[in-house]
Copies of this chain bind each other. A is one copy, B any other.
Amino acid sequence: MRAALYQGAGVVVVDDVPDASIAEPTDAVVQVLRSCICGSDLWSYRGIVNRAAGGRQGHEFLGVVTDVGAEVTSVRPGDLVIAPFTWSDNTCPACVEGLQSKCDNGGTFGAPGADGGQGEAVRVPQADGTLVAVPGGVDGVDDARLTALLALTDVMATGLHGAVLAGVTEGSTVAVIGDGAVGLCAVLGAKQVLGAERVILMSRHADRTALGRTFGATDVVAERGAEGIAAVRELTGGRGVPFVVEAVGTPESWEMALGMARAGGHVGAVGIPHQMPELPLFPIVRSHLTVGAGIAPVRRYLPDLIDRVTSGRLDPSPVFDLTLPLERVAEGYAAMDERRSIKTMLAG
Protein backbone atom coordinates (compact mmCIF):
# COMPACT_ATOMS: atom_id res chain seq x y z
CA MET A 1 0.00 0.00 0.00
CA ARG A 2 0.98 3.65 -0.24
CA ALA A 3 1.71 5.89 2.75
CA ALA A 4 3.33 9.23 3.54
CA LEU A 5 6.80 8.96 5.04
CA TYR A 6 8.95 11.51 6.78
CA GLN A 7 12.36 11.64 5.12
CA GLY A 8 13.82 14.72 6.75
CA ALA A 9 13.07 18.39 7.30
CA GLY A 10 10.93 19.64 4.43
CA VAL A 11 10.68 16.21 2.83
CA VAL A 12 7.50 14.14 3.08
CA VAL A 13 7.10 11.54 0.33
CA VAL A 14 4.54 8.90 -0.55
CA ASP A 15 6.02 5.46 -1.01
CA ASP A 16 5.20 1.75 -0.95
CA VAL A 17 4.97 0.22 2.52
CA PRO A 18 3.79 -3.19 3.76
CA ASP A 19 0.01 -3.52 3.79
CA ALA A 20 -1.63 -2.68 7.11
CA SER A 21 -2.62 -5.93 8.79
CA ILE A 22 -3.83 -7.38 12.08
CA ALA A 23 -0.99 -7.90 14.55
CA GLU A 24 -2.95 -8.25 17.79
CA PRO A 25 -6.39 -9.78 18.34
CA THR A 26 -7.57 -6.35 19.51
CA ASP A 27 -6.56 -4.66 16.22
CA ALA A 28 -8.66 -3.55 13.29
CA VAL A 29 -7.55 -2.46 9.85
CA VAL A 30 -9.18 0.64 8.42
CA GLN A 31 -9.07 1.60 4.76
CA VAL A 32 -8.62 5.36 4.83
CA LEU A 33 -11.23 7.47 3.05
CA ARG A 34 -9.95 10.82 4.24
CA SER A 35 -7.07 12.07 6.28
CA CYS A 36 -5.43 15.40 6.91
CA ILE A 37 -2.34 17.29 7.96
CA CYS A 38 -2.01 18.66 11.48
CA GLY A 39 -0.15 21.73 12.65
CA SER A 40 1.93 19.40 14.82
CA ASP A 41 2.98 17.46 11.69
CA LEU A 42 4.85 20.62 10.76
CA TRP A 43 7.20 20.46 13.77
CA SER A 44 9.40 17.78 12.18
CA TYR A 45 8.70 19.12 8.69
CA ARG A 46 10.17 22.44 9.80
CA GLY A 47 13.07 20.69 11.50
CA ILE A 48 12.06 22.08 14.88
CA VAL A 49 11.67 18.56 16.25
CA ASN A 50 14.10 15.77 15.45
CA ARG A 51 12.56 12.70 13.89
CA ALA A 52 14.07 9.56 12.38
CA ALA A 53 13.68 9.27 8.60
CA GLY A 54 11.24 6.67 7.32
CA GLY A 55 8.46 7.15 9.90
CA ARG A 56 4.79 7.24 8.96
CA GLN A 57 2.99 10.56 8.95
CA GLY A 58 -0.39 11.75 10.15
CA HIS A 59 -2.75 10.95 13.00
CA GLU A 60 -6.14 12.09 11.70
CA PHE A 61 -8.22 9.78 9.53
CA LEU A 62 -11.56 8.12 8.98
CA GLY A 63 -12.43 5.19 6.79
CA VAL A 64 -13.99 1.77 6.43
CA VAL A 65 -13.08 -1.27 8.50
CA THR A 66 -11.66 -4.04 6.28
CA ASP A 67 -10.47 -6.53 8.90
CA VAL A 68 -10.77 -7.08 12.63
CA GLY A 69 -8.82 -9.19 15.14
CA ALA A 70 -10.41 -12.13 16.93
CA GLU A 71 -11.26 -10.14 20.06
CA VAL A 72 -12.83 -7.13 18.39
CA THR A 73 -16.57 -6.91 18.95
CA SER A 74 -17.71 -3.32 18.54
CA VAL A 75 -16.89 -2.74 14.86
CA ARG A 76 -16.91 -5.04 11.85
CA PRO A 77 -15.80 -4.94 8.22
CA GLY A 78 -17.79 -2.44 6.24
CA ASP A 79 -18.35 -0.01 9.13
CA LEU A 80 -17.55 3.64 8.55
CA VAL A 81 -15.41 4.53 11.55
CA ILE A 82 -13.74 7.56 13.05
CA ALA A 83 -10.47 7.26 14.96
CA PRO A 84 -9.28 9.76 17.55
CA PHE A 85 -5.67 10.75 16.98
CA THR A 86 -4.72 8.58 19.94
CA TRP A 87 -5.84 5.01 20.46
CA SER A 88 -7.12 3.87 23.85
CA ASP A 89 -8.63 0.80 25.49
CA ASN A 90 -11.46 2.90 26.95
CA THR A 91 -11.50 0.69 30.05
CA CYS A 92 -8.45 1.73 32.13
CA PRO A 93 -8.93 4.15 35.07
CA ALA A 94 -7.86 7.15 33.00
CA CYS A 95 -10.24 6.24 30.16
CA VAL A 96 -13.11 5.63 32.56
CA GLU A 97 -12.59 9.17 33.83
CA GLY A 98 -12.73 10.49 30.28
CA LEU A 99 -8.99 10.95 29.80
CA GLN A 100 -8.57 8.53 26.90
CA SER A 101 -5.54 10.47 25.65
CA LYS A 102 -3.84 9.33 28.88
CA CYS A 103 -4.82 5.65 28.44
CA ASP A 104 -2.62 3.05 30.15
CA ASN A 105 -2.56 1.13 26.86
CA GLY A 106 -2.74 4.07 24.49
CA GLY A 107 -0.58 5.53 21.77
CA THR A 108 -0.59 8.02 18.94
CA PHE A 109 -1.00 7.27 15.25
CA GLY A 110 2.09 8.17 13.26
CA ALA A 111 4.40 7.64 16.27
CA PRO A 112 7.39 5.31 15.82
CA GLY A 113 6.18 1.77 15.11
CA ALA A 114 2.59 2.81 14.42
CA ASP A 115 0.81 3.36 11.13
CA GLY A 116 0.01 6.94 10.21
CA GLY A 117 -3.24 8.42 9.05
CA GLN A 118 -1.71 9.73 5.83
CA GLY A 119 -1.77 6.40 4.01
CA GLU A 120 -4.13 4.02 2.26
CA ALA A 121 -4.83 1.98 5.35
CA VAL A 122 -4.10 1.96 9.08
CA ARG A 123 -3.70 -0.77 11.67
CA VAL A 124 -5.72 0.45 14.66
CA PRO A 125 -4.66 -0.97 18.05
CA GLN A 126 -7.32 -1.31 20.78
CA ALA A 127 -10.02 -1.11 18.09
CA ASP A 128 -12.93 -1.63 20.48
CA GLY A 129 -11.84 1.23 22.66
CA THR A 130 -10.70 3.50 19.88
CA LEU A 131 -13.00 3.40 16.87
CA VAL A 132 -16.49 4.83 16.80
CA ALA A 133 -18.79 3.70 14.02
CA VAL A 134 -20.89 6.28 12.20
CA PRO A 135 -24.54 5.22 12.18
CA GLY A 136 -25.74 4.60 8.61
CA GLY A 137 -22.24 3.92 7.32
CA VAL A 138 -20.71 5.31 4.16
CA ASP A 139 -24.01 5.37 2.31
CA GLY A 140 -25.57 7.50 5.03
CA VAL A 141 -23.29 10.52 4.75
CA ASP A 142 -22.66 12.85 1.87
CA ASP A 143 -19.37 14.32 0.85
CA ALA A 144 -19.63 17.46 3.00
CA ARG A 145 -20.57 15.54 6.13
CA LEU A 146 -17.70 13.12 5.57
CA THR A 147 -15.37 16.12 5.62
CA ALA A 148 -17.05 17.43 8.74
CA LEU A 149 -16.60 14.04 10.40
CA LEU A 150 -12.89 14.09 9.56
CA ALA A 151 -12.54 17.28 11.60
CA LEU A 152 -13.75 15.37 14.68
CA THR A 153 -10.61 13.20 14.74
CA ASP A 154 -8.62 16.07 16.21
CA VAL A 155 -9.27 19.78 15.72
CA MET A 156 -13.00 19.92 16.46
CA ALA A 157 -12.69 17.77 19.56
CA THR A 158 -9.53 19.59 20.63
CA GLY A 159 -11.11 23.02 20.22
CA LEU A 160 -14.15 21.85 22.16
CA HIS A 161 -11.91 20.38 24.85
CA GLY A 162 -10.27 23.76 25.31
CA ALA A 163 -13.68 25.28 25.95
CA VAL A 164 -14.61 22.42 28.28
CA LEU A 165 -11.33 22.83 30.21
CA ALA A 166 -12.13 26.52 30.56
CA GLY A 167 -15.51 25.53 31.97
CA VAL A 168 -17.50 27.57 29.43
CA THR A 169 -21.14 27.82 30.47
CA GLU A 170 -24.31 28.60 28.57
CA GLY A 171 -24.83 32.28 27.90
CA SER A 172 -21.27 33.17 28.89
CA THR A 173 -18.53 35.28 27.32
CA VAL A 174 -15.45 33.49 26.01
CA ALA A 175 -12.22 34.64 24.41
CA VAL A 176 -10.36 32.34 22.03
CA ILE A 177 -6.66 32.92 21.46
CA GLY A 178 -5.52 31.34 18.22
CA ASP A 179 -7.12 31.38 14.80
CA GLY A 180 -5.69 28.11 13.52
CA ALA A 181 -8.00 25.16 12.97
CA VAL A 182 -8.12 24.37 16.70
CA GLY A 183 -8.89 27.95 17.70
CA LEU A 184 -11.61 28.20 15.06
CA CYS A 185 -13.09 24.92 16.28
CA ALA A 186 -12.94 26.26 19.84
CA VAL A 187 -15.20 29.08 18.66
CA LEU A 188 -17.56 26.50 17.20
CA GLY A 189 -17.42 24.37 20.32
CA ALA A 190 -17.93 27.26 22.74
CA LYS A 191 -20.77 28.72 20.74
CA GLN A 192 -22.62 25.79 19.24
CA VAL A 193 -21.86 22.94 21.62
CA LEU A 194 -21.59 24.71 24.98
CA GLY A 195 -23.92 27.63 24.25
CA ALA A 196 -21.68 30.62 24.92
CA GLU A 197 -23.38 33.88 24.02
CA ARG A 198 -20.40 35.98 23.18
CA VAL A 199 -17.19 34.68 21.64
CA ILE A 200 -14.24 37.01 21.14
CA LEU A 201 -11.75 35.64 18.62
CA MET A 202 -8.20 36.96 18.64
CA SER A 203 -7.31 36.98 14.92
CA ARG A 204 -5.53 39.15 12.44
CA HIS A 205 -5.90 37.08 9.26
CA ALA A 206 -8.86 38.11 7.13
CA ASP A 207 -9.73 34.61 5.90
CA ARG A 208 -9.58 33.11 9.38
CA THR A 209 -11.50 36.02 10.87
CA ALA A 210 -14.26 35.49 8.31
CA LEU A 211 -14.42 31.79 9.09
CA GLY A 212 -14.41 32.54 12.81
CA ARG A 213 -17.45 34.76 12.38
CA THR A 214 -19.18 32.00 10.43
CA PHE A 215 -18.43 29.66 13.32
CA GLY A 216 -20.00 32.05 15.81
CA ALA A 217 -17.43 34.63 16.85
CA THR A 218 -19.33 37.76 17.88
CA ASP A 219 -16.24 39.96 18.20
CA VAL A 220 -12.81 39.87 16.62
CA VAL A 221 -9.72 41.48 18.13
CA ALA A 222 -6.72 41.88 15.85
CA GLU A 223 -4.39 43.43 18.41
CA ARG A 224 -1.88 41.34 20.30
CA GLY A 225 0.00 41.65 23.57
CA ALA A 226 -0.96 44.44 25.95
CA GLU A 227 -3.08 46.05 23.21
CA GLY A 228 -4.98 42.81 22.72
CA ILE A 229 -5.61 42.54 26.46
CA ALA A 230 -6.79 46.15 26.58
CA ALA A 231 -9.12 45.60 23.64
CA VAL A 232 -10.72 42.54 25.27
CA ARG A 233 -11.06 44.39 28.56
CA GLU A 234 -12.74 47.27 26.76
CA LEU A 235 -15.21 44.85 25.21
CA THR A 236 -16.06 43.50 28.66
CA GLY A 237 -16.63 46.67 30.66
CA GLY A 238 -13.04 46.70 31.89
CA ARG A 239 -13.30 43.45 33.84
CA GLY A 240 -11.98 40.86 31.38
CA VAL A 241 -13.52 37.57 30.27
CA PRO A 242 -14.56 34.74 32.59
CA PHE A 243 -13.39 32.05 30.14
CA VAL A 244 -10.36 31.95 27.87
CA VAL A 245 -9.37 29.19 25.44
CA GLU A 246 -5.62 29.20 24.81
CA ALA A 247 -4.99 27.51 21.44
CA VAL A 248 -1.48 28.67 20.59
CA GLY A 249 0.86 27.83 23.45
CA THR A 250 3.58 30.46 23.19
CA PRO A 251 4.71 32.66 26.10
CA GLU A 252 3.12 35.61 24.26
CA SER A 253 -0.27 33.92 23.91
CA TRP A 254 -0.19 32.82 27.54
CA GLU A 255 0.55 36.37 28.59
CA MET A 256 -2.56 37.45 26.72
CA ALA A 257 -4.65 34.62 28.16
CA LEU A 258 -3.69 35.37 31.77
CA GLY A 259 -4.01 39.10 31.18
CA MET A 260 -7.48 39.13 29.65
CA ALA A 261 -9.11 36.73 32.13
CA ARG A 262 -11.21 38.48 34.70
CA ALA A 263 -10.87 37.97 38.44
CA GLY A 264 -11.82 34.38 39.20
CA GLY A 265 -11.58 33.48 35.51
CA HIS A 266 -10.66 30.19 33.89
CA VAL A 267 -8.19 29.38 31.14
CA GLY A 268 -8.50 26.12 29.18
CA ALA A 269 -5.36 25.37 27.22
CA VAL A 270 -5.02 23.10 24.22
CA GLY A 271 -2.27 25.03 22.48
CA ILE A 272 0.50 22.48 22.74
CA PRO A 273 3.71 23.78 21.18
CA HIS A 274 6.74 21.61 20.49
CA GLN A 275 8.47 23.37 23.34
CA MET A 276 6.26 24.19 26.27
CA PRO A 277 6.70 27.52 28.03
CA GLU A 278 6.73 28.30 31.73
CA LEU A 279 3.73 30.11 33.15
CA PRO A 280 4.20 33.04 35.49
CA LEU A 281 2.42 32.30 38.76
CA PHE A 282 1.98 35.96 39.60
CA PRO A 283 -0.91 36.84 37.24
CA ILE A 284 -2.65 33.58 38.17
CA VAL A 285 -2.52 34.49 41.86
CA ARG A 286 -3.29 38.16 41.25
CA SER A 287 -6.47 37.40 39.31
CA HIS A 288 -7.53 34.22 41.14
CA LEU A 289 -7.33 32.22 37.93
CA THR A 290 -7.79 28.55 37.27
CA VAL A 291 -5.73 27.03 34.47
CA GLY A 292 -6.45 23.63 32.96
CA ALA A 293 -4.52 22.02 30.15
CA GLY A 294 -4.14 18.72 28.40
CA ILE A 295 -4.08 16.74 25.17
CA ALA A 296 -7.70 16.38 24.13
CA PRO A 297 -9.32 13.03 24.94
CA VAL A 298 -11.04 13.01 21.56
CA ARG A 299 -12.68 9.63 22.12
CA ARG A 300 -14.77 11.05 24.96
CA TYR A 301 -16.40 13.60 22.67
CA LEU A 302 -16.85 11.48 19.53
CA PRO A 303 -20.30 9.96 20.08
CA ASP A 304 -21.89 13.34 20.78
CA LEU A 305 -19.97 15.15 18.04
CA ILE A 306 -20.79 12.46 15.45
CA ASP A 307 -24.44 12.84 16.34
CA ARG A 308 -24.23 16.61 15.98
CA VAL A 309 -22.57 16.34 12.56
CA THR A 310 -24.78 13.61 11.11
CA SER A 311 -27.89 15.46 12.28
CA GLY A 312 -26.66 18.65 10.67
CA ARG A 313 -26.27 20.67 13.89
CA LEU A 314 -22.52 21.07 13.63
CA ASP A 315 -20.30 21.62 10.62
CA PRO A 316 -16.59 22.13 11.16
CA SER A 317 -15.82 21.13 7.53
CA PRO A 318 -14.87 24.68 6.44
CA VAL A 319 -11.59 24.41 8.36
CA PHE A 320 -10.40 22.40 5.39
CA ASP A 321 -9.54 24.88 2.69
CA LEU A 322 -7.36 22.68 0.48
CA THR A 323 -7.95 19.12 -0.70
CA LEU A 324 -5.30 16.99 -2.35
CA PRO A 325 -4.92 13.33 -3.24
CA LEU A 326 -2.56 11.37 -0.97
CA GLU A 327 0.08 11.24 -3.70
CA ARG A 328 0.36 15.04 -3.56
CA VAL A 329 0.71 15.22 0.23
CA ALA A 330 3.97 17.17 -0.12
CA GLU A 331 2.04 20.08 -1.62
CA GLY A 332 -0.20 20.07 1.43
CA TYR A 333 2.74 20.29 3.83
CA ALA A 334 4.16 23.18 1.83
CA ALA A 335 0.80 24.98 1.77
CA MET A 336 0.33 24.66 5.53
CA ASP A 337 3.94 25.52 6.25
CA GLU A 338 3.57 28.70 4.21
CA ARG A 339 0.19 29.42 5.84
CA ARG A 340 -1.55 29.29 2.47
CA SER A 341 -3.85 26.65 3.93
CA ILE A 342 -5.50 26.54 7.36
CA LYS A 343 -5.82 22.78 7.14
CA THR A 344 -5.27 20.43 4.21
CA MET A 345 -7.38 17.34 3.60
CA LEU A 346 -6.14 14.28 1.77
CA ALA A 347 -8.80 12.38 -0.18
CA GLY A 348 -8.40 9.93 -3.01
* Contact, CB under 8 Å: A285 / B281: no
CB-based nearest B residue for A272: B285
Q: Name the distance in Å between A286's Cβ and chain B's nearest Cβ.
A: 8
Number of identical protomers? 2
CB-based nearest B residue for A294: B288
* Contact, CB under 8 Å: A99 / B290: no
Q: Which of chain B's residues have a CB closer than 8 A to the CB of A294?
A: 264, 284-285, 287-289
- CB within 8 A of A277: which of B93, B99, B281, B293? B281
* Contact, CB under 8 Å: B285 / A276: yes
Q: Which of chain B's residues have a CB closer than 8 A to the CB of A272?
A: 285
Q: Tell me which residues from 86 to 142 in chain A have a Cβ below 8 Å from any Cβ of chain B.
A: 93-94, 97-99, 101-102
* Contact, CB under 8 Å: B295 / A285: yes
* Contact, CB under 8 Å: A278 / B278: yes
Q: Report the Cα distance A94→B240, complex, angstroms.
A: 12
Number of A residues with CB within 8 Å of any CB on chain B: 34
* Contact, CB under 8 Å: B293 / A292: no
Q: Report the Cα distance A291→B284, complex, angstroms.
A: 9
A336 at the binding interface (Cβ < 8 Å) = no
A239 at the binding interface (Cβ < 8 Å) = yes
Q: From A94, A280, A287, A293, name the one whose CB has the most chain B CB atoms within 10 angstroms.
A: A293
Known A-B contacts: A99-B263, A269-B285, A281-B293. Give 12 more (CB < 8 A): A99-B264, A102-B288, A254-B281, A278-B278, A279-B279, A285-B293, A285-B294, A285-B295, A287-B294, A290-B291, A290-B292, A291-B291
7 contacting pairs across A/B (C-beta < 8 A): A165-B290, A264-B294, A279-B279, A284-B294, A289-B294, A291-B291, A291-B292
